[in-house]
Amino acid sequence: MIPKRRSTIENALGRVVELGGEALLITADGSGRAARPGVRHLDLLRREMHWGPNRLIAASPKRLAARLVGKKVGGRSLAWRRWVASKPYKVVRFHILSRVLAPLNGELRPSEVTHIVIAGVESWPIAWHITRFNPEAQIVWDVPGEWRTPQ
């Protein structure tokens, strides 16, 4: 998600909470950064890395070797970084994200979602997943005016 767009969406979600609603930010970028207070944040990257065949290439051999000797090494494997940057993976990633989201329906509660703000093309599979359970959910590209933080 584009940082400027994310900031706008986080502010809008914070406004939803201020107005008494519930807000959930779904990302898949590994950002551990907390959203605005009261906004729930669900990041799908870890689940994506452990989904199906991705699990085999996401583990860094350096990290595994370091774990054996009791050290901590961060980072993802070179194979994973190359795979996620490839054109074939970019085509199937949206499908994978909707698959890793499916087991989280209890936390997501798609039948209770009323509005979906699309942050980019990568948001469509998640929006599709939610609208399968709640066709009444309103999908918008931009933040509704009443959600924007007053200036």
Inter-axis angle of helices 87-101 and 78-85, nearest 10? 100
Instruction: Judge whether residue 30 has pLDDT over 60.
Output: yes
DSSP 70: T
Q: Which residue stretches of the chain are H helix?
A: 3-18, 45-49, 54-58, 61-68, 78-85, 87-101, 105-108, 124-133
pLDDT attached to residue 82: 92
Q: What is the pLDDT of residues 46-103, one digit of tens each?
A: 899 888 888 888 877 777 777 778 777 666 778 888 999 999 998 888 889 888 988 9
> What's this model's pTM, rounded to 2 decimal places?
0.76
Length of the chain: 151
